Structure 1
Amino acid sequence: MLIHQFYDTDLAHASYAILRAGQIIVIDPARNPQPYYEFALQHEADITGVIETHPHADFVSSHLEIHQTTGATIYVSHLLGATYPHQTFDDGDEITLADMKLKAINTPGHSPDSICVLVEDENGQTTTLFSGDTLFVGDVGRPDLREEAGNITAKKEDLARQMYNSTRQKLMTLPQNVVVYPAHGPGTLCGKNISPDLQSTIGRELRENYALQLMDEQTFVNELTADQPFAPQYFGYDVELNKQGAPDYAQSIANIPHLNTDAQLNEGTLVIDTRTKAAFNQGHIKNAINLQLQGKFETWLGTVVEPSEPYYLIAADHEKLELALSRSAKIGYEQQIKGVLQSPTNATETSAELDLDAFKAHPESYTIIDARNWNEINAGLLFSNALTIPLPELRKRLNEIPTDKPIVVHCAAGYRSAAARSIIVQRIVNVPVYDLSDVVVEFNNSTPSLTGMEGGKTDYLKSPLPGRI
């Protein structure tokens, strides 16, 4: 058996192809199915099955498209309530892959319909666990994303109790040499304490994972429900989209209109400008929001823009425009794009530049907005008089910002403050609004960002796992 991991650093998402005797089972595929087709072609094999460990909240899966293209059977828990053609895959169910078996384990906790997949080799030995969002390296899946989304909803405390039982009764009893392959690595918002490693073993997790240590159920519930990161607006939307199956990836992108650089955009429709903040500050369309492509673009797009809210998408050139489209599609947000265009000719609005010396000398003369996330804010303010409005809440709290003094916005490294400043100036025009940008590190070099939320690599990686199992 050959296991191949496909890892997307933008969303910290890991999907897998299991190859045996010319047959491939894909687990938790990303939106674009092409890498899985290429893998199958490279190995002269057929994709015969797709397993969804649960309806994902943080990305859109290509399971339905792969089924429609290849005829592969989709396997999901009966609890998911899938509306697409599928085969149920729950406790006691098996998939035969040549001389090997893939077995389902129901592991509610991250979601009520979560499953893990156990691999049994040709000798009947359990070797591998594909743990979805149930068990990560160093963590377990957060339990608070299904209170209002999905076929079955549940309170976070109830799901945390289910996670306690799933880990103790089903996962922690597995042989310690079983290799663990999770659906996410560090940087995802599906956990809060994930290790940089992209694979582990049951034995290592028993020793090192805080959630698998000896504790009673209530202590576990308290620990797991505390200090989870924010949940972007798009999470519930993606759960529902994955439950019904997303449209064809390439065709959905092809349907988006490409506009001329001098196109007149509909007034009142949101504009998302993905160019660098330097380019944006030199000239942008009035009321555009600056969500830079080189950062955690998908996360912030799905945080700032509401599901189904129409918007235009701007990029610096053709290559970056194609990249912005593909990254929007990862979370299903390509369907609400009204049109895309490269650097528009009417981008004449400029951004006010902060006199840093004046600010350092008299910070009390400014209204300071702290746009970091709550976990960072709670760890300590950089400016004692700052008004705390995290970026995910900003569009709904603009009326709380006083306008009697110039405004300075900061985050931890400059990405979120650029977006925040561009949002604030849409409502406040009688005083200048400044972005402290990356100069903020001079005020507190130890201030961390939330697991890479300020930026990060944007390459799509396909990583072979070491050796054969």
Structure 2
Amino acid sequence: MNIKHFYDQALAQGSFAIESDGKVALVDPSRDITPYVQFAEENNAKIVAVFETHPHADFISSHLEIQEKFKAEIYINEKVGVSYDFTPMKHGDEVQIGKVTFKALFTPGHSPDHNSYLLIDENGKQEAVFTGDSLFVGDVGRPDLREGAGNIQASRKELAGMMYNTVNTIFKDLADDTIVYPAHGAGSLCGKNMSSDLTSTIAREKANNWAFQIKDKAKFIDAFLEGQSFIPKYFPNSVEVNRRGATELEEAIKKVEKKEGAEIPSDALIIDTQPQEAFKKSHLKGAINIQNKKDDKFETWLGSIVGPNEKYYLVAQNNKDLDFAIYRAAKIGYESNLIAAVVQPKGETVQDPQINLEDFRKNPDAYTIIDIRNSSEVADGKFFQSAKNIPLPELRERTSEIDKQKPIIIHCAGGYRSATGFSIVKRLLPDAKVYDLSDAVEEFK
């Protein structure tokens, strides 16, 4: 038996390939099938199965493409309500792949249709459990994503109660040395207290994970519901795309219209993927800057700022960067609403003003300060007492709340988000004086 853990740092998303006796099973595969195909080839094996824990909200799965290309069987809880061919897995059902067995564990709480999969080796030992978004290292999956999406919907309080039962009647009874393989790590928006460790054991989670420590159900529910982060705009859409099954990645990307030197309408929604330093020197008027370096959270912020039904343009300075941006947009299903992807577009360009830090230090009250961090971050303390908090995902909808009688300062925690926030405010309040505090925020913490 060979278990391979694949990890997408940008989305903090884990997927798995398990090889046994020349057969490969995948758990929660991401949209790009390339690494799984390579794994199968390296092990002289064939992909025969995909185990889906639930319809994911934060990324697009490749389960349908894998089924169509390799005739693999898809295993999923029937409560998900899918339209493609699948084999239903309810609690206790078992499937043998090579010499190992996958046993379904019904583990609702993050979603009402969630399965985990217990991996049992040829000697009957509980080797590992693939917990999806139910059990993380140090946390459990948030319960507030299925109030308006999916075949079965449930309130966050109902789901919190389900999670209490899952922790105390399913995971608690697994063997202590069972390895825990979750679908996410620190940085994912599917939980709030995740460890930076990507794997654990049941014994370690029982000893350290907060969810195992609270014995009273009502107190568990209260603790669980408190302090959850924002829900990106794209999350409900991804649930539905994954329930239907996404089109092949390569085919989807080929459909995106690419242009060079094209003129983009001035009123269009433009996402410019340049690093902030280059963006500030020259960009199309009204463009929104979402930086696209390798480990930037490009997918998260694209899907948090642009709605799933909004049409938009992607802009980059060269074809390599443009292709990378299209690929990353496709990871969350956002390639389908691209009007076009453009290299070196034509149109009115502007240069952004630089903040006079000395003046801001001496006269902070002369500025309107907008803190675009998440509410949970602000609860831990403000950097400026007079700052108004408008979280970045809400900024496009709440720009009218900003006092533009004074120069406007945009800040976040480190400078990445403020570049995006600055470009949004400048787009929607073109006559206002707007400045990005950027990484200079460090000296005011």
TM-score (norm 2): 0.98
**2:81 is equivalent to residue 89 of structure 1:** no
SS in 2 for 1:425: helix
For the pair 1:290 / 2:289, whether they are aligned, the reply is: yes
CA displacement, residues 173-203 of structure 1 (integer Å, 9 cap, x when unaligned): 1110111111111110001111111111100
CA contact 1:108–1:163 (8 Å) conserved in 2: yes
Q: What secondary structure sits across from 1:409 in the alignment? A: strand
Deviation at 1:268, TM superposition (A): 2.7
Query: Which amino acid counterpart does residue 392 of structure 2 have in structure 1?
Result: L
Give the whole-Å Cα distance in 2 for the aligned partners of 1:241 and 1:266. 30
1:30-41 mapped onto 2 (5 Å cutoff) = 30-41=30-41
After superposition, the C-alpha distances for 1:39-88 in whole angstroms (9 at most, x for unaligned) are 11111110000010000000000000000110000110010001111110
- 1:136 is matched with 136
Farther-moved stretch of structure 1 (345-354 vs 124-133): 345-354
Q: Which residue of 2 aligns with 1:46?
A: 46
Q: Is contact 2:260-2:344 (8 Å) kept?
A: no
Cα distance per residue 1:272-291 (max 9 Å; x no partner): 00101111111111110000
Alpha-carbon distance in structure 2 between the residues aligned to 1:167 and 1:333? 34
Cα distance in 2 for partners of 1:348, 1:61 equals 38
Match of 1:15 in 2: 15
- Structure 1 partner of 2:250: 250
1: distance between equivalents of 2:275 and 2:125? 52
C-alpha separation between the residues in 2 aligned to 1:429 and 1:92?
60
Q: Give CA-to-partner distance per residue, 1:338-385, whole Å, 9 cap, x none.
A: 111223343621111111111111111111111111011111111111
1:336 aligned onto 2:324: no
Distance in 2, matches of 1:430 and 1:119, equals: 60
> What is the identity, as a one-letter code, of the residue corresponding to 1:78?
E
Are 2:267 and 1:268 equivalent residues in the alignment? yes
Partner of 2:311: 310
Letter of the 2:179 partner, please give it: V
**Which letter does structure 1 place at the counterpart of 2:369?**
I
Which AA in structure 2 matches 1:36?
A: Y
SS in 1 for 2:35: helix
For normalisation by structure 1, the TM-score amounts to 0.93
* Closer/same/farther in 2, CA of residues 214 and 408 from structure 1, 3 Å limit: closer
Equivalent residue number for residue 221 of structure 2: 221
Letter aligned with residue 32 of structure 2: N
C-alpha distance after superposition, 1:287-322 (max 9, x if no partner): 100001122111000000000211100123222111
**Which one is further off, 419-428 or 130-139?**
419-428
Q: In 2, Cα distance between the equivalents of 1:385 and 1:144?
A: 31
For residues 92 and 306 of structure 2, the distance between their equivalents in structure 1, rounded to whole angstroms, comes to 42
Matches within 5 A, 1:329-408: 329-346=330-347, 348-408=349-409
C-alpha separation between the residues in 2 aligned to 1:329 and 1:124?
40
2:360 maps to amino acid = F
Listed as ranges, the gaps of 5+ residues in structure 1 are 445-469
Deviations 1:107-132 (A, max 9, x none): 10000011000111111222211111
- State how far apart, in whole Å, the 2-side matches of 1:158 and 1:381 are: 34
Q: Between Structure 1 and Structure 2, how many residues are aligned?
A: 443
SS in 2 for 1:326: helix
% identical aligned pairs: 46
Structure 2 residue identity aligned to 1:401: I
Task: For 1:186-201, list aligned pairs within 5 A.
Answer: 186-201=186-201
Q: Is the 8 A contact 2:263 2:346 kept in 1?
A: no
Q: Which residue of 1 aligns with 2:109?
A: 109
Aligned CA distance change for structure 1 residues 8 and 399 (closer, same or farther; 3 Å): same
State the match for 1:279 in structure 2.
278
**How far did residue 99 of structure 1 move?**
2.5
State the 1:23 CA deviation.
0.2
Aligned mates of 2:348, 2:202 — CA distance in 1? 55
Matched, 1:176 2:189: no
Larger relative contact order (CA 8 Å, sep ≥ 6): 1
**Shift, 1:95, TM fit:** 1.0
Matches within 5 A, 1:432-447: 432-444=433-445
Kindly provide the amino acid, as one letter, of the partner of residue 28 in structure 1.
D
Where does the alignment leave 5 or more consecutive residues of structure 2 unmatched?
Answer: none
Instruction: Give RMSD over aligned pairs.
Output: 1.0
